[in-house]
Structure 1
Amino acid sequence: MASQVRLRLLPGTRCLFDEPLQVTVAGLRSRQVVALRARSTDEKGAVFSSSATYRADGSGEIDLGRDPSLSGSYVGVEPMGLLRSMAADTAHKRFQKTNSLNPHVVKFSVHEVEGEGRMLVEVTNERILMADGVGRRPVKEGNIRGYLFTPPGEGPFPAVLDLYTFGGGLSEKRSSLLASRGFVVLTVALYGHDDQPRNIKEVHLDYFEGAIEFLKKQDKVGSKGVGLISLSKSGDLALSIASYLPHVDATVWINGCCANTVLPLYYKKEKIHPPLLFDAEKVIVTESGACITKDAMHSPWAEENKATLIPIERAKGRFLFVAAEADLNWDSKAYLDVMVERLKRHGKDNFESVSYPEAGHYLEPPYGPYCPSSFHGVMGKPVAWGGESRSHAAAEVHLWKKIQEFFRSHLSCDGVTQNKAKL
C-alpha cells in the first residue's frame, strides 16, 4: 500500500519561503481517512509540527486546496494550513529562521489513522530564503554592521533599508526575500551583532544616515531615494529616520509606535527625543506565563510625554501604516489612528494605511508558523503577541504583496519598469 501512495508538492520540493504550495495525495483507497503531517526544526533546535485529518475522494485523492481538514491542528479548507499551524513542542517558542543561507526544511508525510499510524509516504520541502542568483555579502563599513542582498541581473533596482526588529543581532529572512523579488536590501543591526556592544543606552540617527548613504552608492541601485521597512520598536525608528533624514522616499511602518520608545534618540550628539516608557504594574500575566503588555506603555499623547512624539509631518516621502488590531504587545491601531489624524491636521496626504482586525503583532513574510507568544528582549519574559492564527496568516499574505507594490510605486528607478512580484 505504501508504495502506491503519492504525495505531490507544487511548484516543487524546492521553492521560495514566500511561495504557496499545492499539496495533493493520490493512491489512497476510496474514502480512506488519513493524517497529513508537517514537521520542521528551526535553527535553534526547536521542533515545530502540525497534523490534520483528511478523507480521500472516491478516486483515493486529496487536494488541500479543495478538501477540508476534518480535525487536527486546523479544520476546514486551508491550502497552507499545515505550515501556518505548525506549533513548537515547548511553550513560548518563536520559529527562528534568521540566516538566509539555511532553507526552511519541512517534512510532509501521510499516515494511516487506524492502528499505530503507519507512515505511507514522506516528501521533504526546502523553502529557500534566497532565489537563485541573489547576492549576499556582509557589511562592515565604518560602524555599520549588516548584510547587503542584491537581486540577479544588472538592474537598476529600488533600494530598501530593512530595520526589522529591536531584539539585537539581525534577521535576514525578510531582506533576502525582498531581494528575491527585485529589491536591493540592506539589513542592519543596531547592537549585538558581530563586534557591536550587547547592550546600548541610546540610539543615534547618524548610524542610519550612514546606512542610507552606503545603500545609495551600490552599483545596482537605481532609485533616487530609499525605502524603509520596520516592525515593532523599529517602527518608531523608521518614523524618525523618515522625518529627520533626507533621501527616504517610502516608509513601511508595521505595528510600531507613534512616539520614540525605550531609549533616548540622538542626532549629531544632540538629544532630539526622550523615550516613552512603560508601567510594569499594567502588565497582565496570563495562565500560560505570557505577558500582555498592550496597556502598559505610557500614553504618548499625555502632556508630560509629548516630547516623545515624532513629527512625521516633516517627512518628504510616503508612508504605509500597518496595524494589527489584535496586537497584544501594544495598541498599534491607536498609534496608527493618531498618526493619520496628525498628518491630516497638517494638510498632508502622503500616506496610506491598512489594518487587520484579527492579526497579531508579528506580521512577517507569509507561510511561516504562527507565533502566539515568545521571549521579549525588553521585558525579559515571554510576551503574548495576539491574533487568531488563520486570520493572521491571511493578513501576512495580503500585506507581503502590498509592501512590494508600495515600494515599486514610490521608489522610482528613472522610468525603468521593474519586474512585478511573482506571487
Structure 2
Amino acid sequence: MQFQSALRLLKVTSRAFSLIAMRSTSHQVCIQLLPGPGSFFDEAVQVKVEGLAPQQQVELRSRLTDHKGVVFKASSVYIADATGQVDVCTSPSLSGTYTGVEPMGLFWSMAPETPHKKVFIKTASSPILVNIDALSNTGEVLASETSERQFMIEGMRRIPLKEDKVRGVLFLPPGEGPFPGVVDIYTLGGGPCEARASLLANKGFAVLALAYYGYEDLPKIIPKKFDLEYFEAAVAFLGGHPLVQGPGIGVISISKSGDLALSMASFLSRISATVSINGCNSPVLSSLHYKDIIIPYLAPVFENITVTPSGIIDIRDALPDPMATEKTRKSVIPVERASCQFLIVASEDDRNWNSCLFAEQSAARLRDCKKDNFELVRYPNAGHFLEVPFMPHCPSAFHAAVGKDVMFGGQTKAHSEAQLDLWSRVQKFFRKHLENQTHSQKAML
C-alpha cells in the first residue's frame, strides 16, 4: 500500500512538473514589435517572435476592429530558425493570406470577416488596434501583443470646422509654421477622410479634410449639382489661415472627388498642385456649376453593368467614353485651363470605372495644348481604392450610388505595393510644387 501511494504521488508530482514546464515554456515565448507597440498607421512595424524551439512551426494571426466594429484578419505560417526566432522581415511565410518574405503582410493582407467591407476610420483621434497572436501547431496561443496604429503625432491640432459655410476637419502640425496647405477631398459619403489627412499633416502639411455632403448640416445625400463656390470658399479659408504659407494650395482626391479636384484646378486660381487618384475627367452623378458655367454630368449606361459568377456587380463599363459623342464631350472638364501641376494616378485593374481611359484623356488634353504640367502614373493589378500604406485591400464593397455590393478590383499584394509607392509620390509632389513655389515667390519679391 505504501508503495502504491508513493507511486501515485510520484505520478502526480511528475504531471505537475510537466505542467509547470509547459507553462514556463509558453511564458518564454514573446512577440516583439519594433520600434515599439505604438506606431503610425502608415509606418512599417517589425514583428519578431522569440523563445520558440529551433525549427518550431508557428502561426501568426493579426486582427483589427475598425470604427464600425467590422473585424479584419490575416494569418501566416512560419518555421523558427536555429535560435528559436521568427523575424517577419527575414523569415518567409509558408502559407496563409500571404507567402514569402513580407515584413508588413500581417497588416496589408487582412480581409474582412464579413465579406465586402472596407476599413472605416471615423476619427483620427482614435487609433486602430491590431492584435497579433502566435499559435502552436495545436492551436495553443503562445504569445500575444497589440500594435496601436496611430494617426496624429504629438502636438497635432485637430480642429472641426463649424463656422461660416465650410465643413470638415483641419489638421495643423505642431510648431509655428507656416505650413504648405492641402485640401483633402474623399469619395462617396462626402464626409472628411481624417485618416489620410492626419497622416499627411504628420509630414508637415496643413490639411483640410473637406466634407461636401452627408456631414453635419450639409445635404444628407449627394446633390444633383455641385457649386464650385463652396470649394472655392474652402480654398480661401485654408489659404487665409495664418499658419498656411501659400500662395498656392494643393488638392488631393480619389474616385468621385477626382472630378471635383480637376474642376477646382481648372477654374480656381489658387490651386498650385492637384492629385487625382482613380478619378473621372467628367462630373459624375452631379453636374458642376461655377458662376455662369455649367458642366453636365456623364450619364451611366446601365446596360453595360454586368454580374460576376460570384454574384457581385461589375460597374467598370457603366460610364461611357467621355469623348465618344458630341453630347458626352460637353461633360469633359477643361483641364487645359489649369495652370497648376497635376499628379494623375490610375489603377489598371480598377473595376469601379475605366480610370486609365479617363487619366489618359486628361493627359492628352493637356498635351494637345502643349502643356507638360502633369505626371501620369499607372499601377498594374491595383484596384480602385488606393489608400495610405498598409491599409487592407478592398476588392469589393457596398457602393453608395449603386446601393449594392460592387467589384473594386485589384490583386492584394500589387495593390499594397501601389499604395506604398503612391504615398511617397504624393509627399514629394506636394513638397516640390507647394514649398518650392513659395520659396520662388519670396525670392522674386
TM-score by length of 1: 0.96
Quick check: 1:196 aligned with 2:226?
Answer: no
Amino acid at match of 1:183: F
- 1:277 Cα offset (Å): 1.4
Partner of 1:152: 174
**Which of 230, 233, 239 is equivalent to 2:256?**
233
Cα distance in 2, alignment partners of residues 243 and 127 from structure 1: 37
Partner of 1:98: 122
Quick check: 1:318 aligned with 2:311?
Answer: no
Residue ranges of structure 1 left out of the alignment (5+ in a row): 418-423
Amino acid at match of 2:191: G
**Which of 246, 257, 260 is equivalent to 1:223?**
246
Within 5 A, what are the aligned runs for 1:8-19?
8-19=32-43
Cα distance in 1, alignment partners of residues 247 and 280 from structure 2: 28
Cα distance in 2, alignment partners of residues 141 and 226 from structure 1: 21
Q: Secondary structure at the match of 1:405?
A: helix
**Which of 294, 308, 317 is equivalent to 1:295?**
317
**Which of 137, 143, 147 is equivalent to 1:113?**
137
Within 5 A, what are the aligned runs for 1:21-420?
21-114=45-138, 117-199=139-221, 200-268=223-291, 270-302=292-324, 303-412=326-435
- 1:89 Cα offset (Å): 1.1
Amino acid at match of 2:421: H
- 1:195 Cα offset (Å): 1.4
Amino acid at match of 1:160: V
* Larger strand proportion of the pair: 1
Cα distance in 2, alignment partners of residues 16 and 153 from structure 1: 19
* Contact 2:356/2:378, CA 8 A, preserved across alignment: yes
Amino acid at match of 1:18: D
* Contact 2:133/2:145, CA 8 A, preserved across alignment: yes
Residues 68-105 of structure 1 show CA distances to partners (whole Å, capped at 9, x for unaligned) of 11111111111110111111111111111131011110
- 1:414 Cα offset (Å): 7.1
- 1:142 Cα offset (Å): 2.0
Q: Secondary structure at the match of 2:435?
A: coil
* Contact 1:163/1:230, CA 8 A, preserved across alignment: yes
* Contact 1:5/1:25, CA 8 A, preserved across alignment: yes
Amino acid at match of 1:220: L
- 1:218 Cα offset (Å): 1.2
* Contact 1:284/1:293, CA 8 A, preserved across alignment: yes
Cα distance in 2, alignment partners of residues 48 and 339 from structure 1: 37
- 1:416 Cα offset (Å): 6.0
Residues 159-178 of structure 1 show CA distances to partners (whole Å, capped at 9, x for unaligned) of 00001113232221110111
* Contact 2:250/2:272, CA 8 A, preserved across alignment: yes
Cα distance in 2, alignment partners of residues 271 and 317 from structure 1: 20
- 1:278 Cα offset (Å): 0.8
* Larger helix proportion of the pair: 2
- 1:131 Cα offset (Å): 1.1
> Aligned-residue CA RMSD in angstroms?
1.3
Partner of 2:443: none
* Contact 1:160/1:226, CA 8 A, preserved across alignment: yes
Q: Secondary structure at the match of 1:409?
A: helix
Higher relative contact order (CA 8 A, sep 6+): 1
Amino acid at match of 1:27: G
Q: Secondary structure at the match of 1:101?
A: coil
* Contact 2:185/2:253, CA 8 A, preserved across alignment: yes
Identity of aligned residues (%): 47
Residues 346-383 of structure 1 show CA distances to partners (whole Å, capped at 9, x for unaligned) of 00010111110111000010111111111111111111
Cα distance in 1, alignment partners of residues 425 and 159 from structure 2: 27
* Contact 2:254/2:276, CA 8 A, preserved across alignment: yes
TM-score by length of 2: 0.91
Amino acid at match of 1:38: S
Cα distance in 2, alignment partners of residues 298 and 336 from structure 1: 14
- 1:329 Cα offset (Å): 0.6
Cα distance in 1, alignment partners of residues 437 and 248 from structure 2: 11
Cα distance in 2, alignment partners of residues 384 and 402 from structure 1: 26
* Contact 2:246/2:438, CA 8 A, preserved across alignment: no
Cα distance in 1, alignment partners of residues 388 and 163 from structure 2: 28
Amino acid at match of 2:195: K
- 1:415 Cα offset (Å): 5.9
Matched residue count = 414
Residues 16-50 of structure 1 show CA distances to partners (whole Å, capped at 9, x for unaligned) of 10001111111100000010010111111111111
Residues 139-166 of structure 1 show CA distances to partners (whole Å, capped at 9, x for unaligned) of 1232211000000111121000001113
